[in-house]
Structure 1
Amino acid sequence: MTTYSAVRTTGIYCRPGCGAKPLAENVRTFELAAAAEAEGYRACLRCRPYRVAGTVADDAPELVCRAVQLIIAGVLDDADEVALGAQLGMSARHLRRLFNDHLGVTPDQFARSRRAHFARRLLDDSELTIADVAFASGFGSLRQFNRAMREVFRATPRELRDRRRRTDRLAADGGLVLRMPFTPPYDWDAMAGFLARNAVPGVESVQGGVYRRTIALDGALGLLEIGPGGVDHLLLKAHLPYWEGAIHVVERAGCLVGLTTEPVLAAAQLAADPVIGPLIEARPGIRVPGAWGPFEVAVQAVVTHHPALTRPSPGERPHAGSSQGDRPALTEAREVLARVVEVAGTQVDGLGFGLTHAFPSAESVAEADLSGIPGEVARTIKALAHEVALGNLSLAACAPLEELTGALLAIDGVSEEAAQWVALRLGARDASPITKGAREPDEAWRPWRALAAMHLEAAAPR
């Protein structure tokens, strides 16, 4: 977790490792850059703290974490704190109190800081015009953009671009290339392996250590590529139909590969566990993956763990941490997913890497002809799609774990393991998609069972 140091006498805040040497009695610390900015401090020009990972501590209440995920998804772009609170079942006043108590900022201040920091990175790294940077960063107007940048960085966007360093600029032969910062350790090999094992055919691909996927933005198609970049960042190349709202594309991509939360407290508490502790010591950079599309993740998990496809052979017992890659029925599950994509998804031509379609919407799947898919599985997929399309099942990040898994289990054919995997990918930190052979010890891993599950998954024999 990055801790920012703010100096009272200069009004400047820095990231760890900055060469500045202020007197200790003049220093305040903040866990979020946004909190330092809310107190009137401005970013150091030397260490540029806006270029490091600005994650929320994993010891924040789960309600606050769910609110943060909604902000990252763009809820406050077109709505206010009242609407955000309503989605979480609380008043805006109570929500602001929670944010102030645990993050040191209001939801609006948190959202504004994220937009300003993203814009500053675009000004440094890209050749986008000032106007494109403004709208890519989620600002509603150039006036709003200029005002926010002056408040956060004490300079205009043009002045900030003139200060950028030559080494910041990222060359791109098409698309927008951006650094995705993280605080080490981060295990990209483990994340890429998990994404490869769970890739939806035609939609996702992992080749040569690079994850690629198709995306659809308001019906227009695009492509994302994520791969290793350096000791403290991944590289994202985004081929987008338009730049407006690119911040949410980048943040959703960061959520997908587990960059929005650092499991500092979770890893510290699980380190003493006799089962999980040695796994954490061996691979301390394991993170919990998120989801690009909630409905896509739900269909993938429901199919992969459908009872009709995953029934073990007589006498076979699943082992602790067994992964989807160990299941004899995985090939059949992938064939089912490929069929869903083929009949309901939008075809994309000329991308290569096995990418042929964008994943379909719930409405498209609900109306699709799923002939050729085993009957029990097809009925479950249809039922899931209908519930989501009708609004009876919400796959939003703000849903509590028990509420989400209960709603999924109410659909015939959705297994407990599938429901827990969906919850894990949607950000429930206590989701526990462990096979029944490992149920007994996992109570000791609360409330961090999602991280424990990822360590078991990464350690499972292939």
Structure 2
Amino acid sequence: MNRTISLPYLPPYDWPATLAYFGGRAIPGVEVVTGETYARTVFLSGRCGTFSLAPGQGDVLVAAIDHPDPAIVPQILARLRPMFDLDADPVVIAAALSRDPDLARLVAERPGLRVPGAWNGFELAVRAILGQQVSVNAATRLAGRLVSAFGEPLAPERAVAGLTHLFPTPGQLREAEVAATLGMPGARGRAINALAAEAQANPRLFDGGRGLDAAVAALKTLSGIGEWTAQYIALRALREPDALPAADLALLRSLDTGTGRPTSVQLLARAEAWRPWRGYAAMHLWASDAARIAAALPPAARSGPPRPA
């Protein structure tokens, strides 16, 4: 079954920034970003499929869904709206953040910047653990190796260019030799095993709606998940717009005006004025930091427009 559906949003929408964010973290075999299009594999109703998303005419994104079961279309659409932050009101968010003079400049530079979400909370949490203490590129390579080793391959007739595997399920990772296979610290591999076991036992583990404080507290009870990782998962997977990983180095670096970086405590104090949109403020600060780093590179090292951190 192939179906094309338009998904409206409130403008403005910075699709290039959203696409760059996903593109910099696309899991090999599971996700592909080409041109103006994001695509990935999915497993719903016991069967494999794919979808892609690209800009349409007017204030819409167009989803192209390829799945054997037409009944899953509502499920896919229900995930796509939060994943691509289609229900945000950028005008309201910009007005609130612009009360901070520094953020006002960033918001004006990047109107319509969204908070990229996630297709699956478990997948994002695993990806966050893989990314602890390593670069974004290194984490992406690790995720690709994880998928190749433990993910289910698509049948040849279902696979398309670059989309070859499903992300591993909790059952597939619960007892997997993750650390040995990926050559990563044993503690991190055991954290993924523990996360998989918890996700398998509690299918609602990554459901939203609990509120930020309760969600972060619950996530921090899981092995290998501290404050930063819990806030990051809450922001992207649980769709908590006020989540803020205050100890994030790039956030602190972006607020250095020449007199030194603030501490995470100082950032939290300043961010009180950004509520309830601290997550959007973080996106603007990450984007600003990435642009500043890219601008400092020699021309030969620049591979395109700056991407959000």
Deviation at 1:243, TM superposition (A): 0.8
| Correspondence for 1:340 | 146
After superposition, the CA RMSD in angstroms is 2.0
2:98 — aligned with what? 271
Q: Distance in 2 between matches of 1:271 and 1:230?
A: 29
Number of aligned positions between the proteins: 268
For 2:174, the equivalent position in structure 1 comes to: 366
* 1:282-323 CA-partner distances (Å, limit 9, x unpaired): 11111122221111111112221x2xx33xxxxxxxxxxxxx
The question of whether the paired residues in 2 share the 8 Å contact of 1:408 and 1:414 is answered with yes
2:240 to 428, 440, 455: 428
Secondary structure of 2:40's counterpart equals: strand
Q: Which residue of 1 aligns with 2:301?
A: none
**Alignment correspondent of 1:7:** none
Match of 1:92 in 2: none
CA distance in structure 1 between the aligned counterparts of 2:121 and 2:282, rounded to whole angstroms: 19
Instruction: Provide the residue aligned with 1:232 in structure 2.
Output: 59
2:25–2:136: 8 Å Cα contact kept in structure 1? no
Question: 1:334-354 CA deviation, whole Å, 9 max, x = no partner?
Answer: 232123212332111443432
SS in 2 for 1:212: strand
Shift of 1:358: 1.0
Quote the Cα distance in structure 2 between the aligned partners of 1:349 and 1:433.
39
2:129–2:229 Cα contact (<8 Å) kept = yes
Cα distance between partner residues in 2 of 1:197 and 1:331: 7
Distance, in Å, in 2 between the alignment partners of 1:270 and 1:383 is 38
Matches within 5 A, 1:120-159: none
Does the aligned pair in 1 maintain the 2:26–2:32 contact within 8 Å?
Answer: yes
Q: Which of 122, 131, 138 is equivalent to 1:295?
A: 122
Which of residues 221, 225, 232 in structure 2 aligns to 1:410? 221
Which of the residues 273, 278, 284 maps onto 1:444? 273
Give 1:129's aligned residue.
none
Following superposition of structure 1 onto structure 2, how do residues 46-65 of structure 1 map, counting pairs within 5 Å? none
Q: Could you say if the C-alpha distance between residues 366 and 230 of structure 1 is closer, same or farther in structure 2, counting changes exceeding 3 Å?
A: same
Q: Is the CA contact (8 Å cut-off) linking 1:279 and 1:455 kept in structure 2?
A: yes
Aligned to 1:321: none
Which position in structure 2 is the counterpart of 1:353? 161
Matched, 1:457 2:286: yes
> Is the 8 Å Cα contact of residues 348 and 357 (structure 1) preserved in structure 2?
yes
Give the secondary structure class of the aligned counterpart of 2:101. coil
Deviation of the 1:248 alpha carbon: 2.2
The aligned residue for residue 112 of structure 1 is none
Instruction: Report the residue type matching 2:50 in the other structure.
Output: L
Question: For residue 144 of structure 1, what is the aligned residue in structure 2?
Answer: none
Contact 1:365 1:382 in 2 (8 A): yes
* Aligned-partner SS, 1:427: coil
Question: How far 1:179 sits from its partner (Å)?
Answer: 1.1
What is the deviation of 1:230? Answer: 2.1
Contact 2:24 2:136 in 1 (8 A): no
Q: Is the deviation greater in 345-354 or in 358-367?
A: 345-354
> What is the CA-CA distance between 1:393 and the residue it aligns to?
7.3
**How far apart are 1:258 and its partner, in Å?**
0.9
Q: Does 1:183 align with 2:27?
A: no
TM-score (norm 2): 0.80
Query: Which of 186, 196, 206 in structure 1 is aligned with 2:23?
Result: 196
TM-score, normalization: structure 1? 0.55
Paired residue type of 2:143: L
| Local SS of the residue matching 1:230 | coil
State the one-letter code of the partner of 1:180.
L
Deviation at 1:406, TM superposition (A): 1.9
Alpha-carbon distance between aligned partners in 2 of 1:191 and 1:453, rounded to the nearest angstrom:
14
Looking at structure 2, the residues matched to 240 and 392 of structure 1 have their Cα atoms a distance apart, in angstroms, of 23
Q: Partner residue of 2:297?
A: none
Contact 1:194/1:458 (<8 A) preserved: no
Structure 2, gaps ≥5 residues long: 253-261, 295-309
Given that residues 203 and 359 in structure 1 are in contact (C-alpha distance below 8 angstroms), is that contact kept between their aligned partners in structure 2? yes
Conserved? CA contact 2:45–2:69, under 8 Å: no
- The separation in 2 between residues aligned to 1:209 and 1:433, in whole angstroms, is 29
- Compute the displacement of 1:257 (Å): 0.9
Q: Helix, strand or coil: the match of 1:224?
A: strand
Q: Percent identity?
A: 35
- Note the alpha carbon deviations across 1:130-159, whole angstroms, 9 max, x for none: xxxxxxxxxxxxxxxxxxxxxxxxxxxxxx
**Matched residue of 1:358: which SS?**
coil
Q: Deviations over 1:337-386 (max 9, x none)?
A: 12321233211144343222111221221132322231122111111111
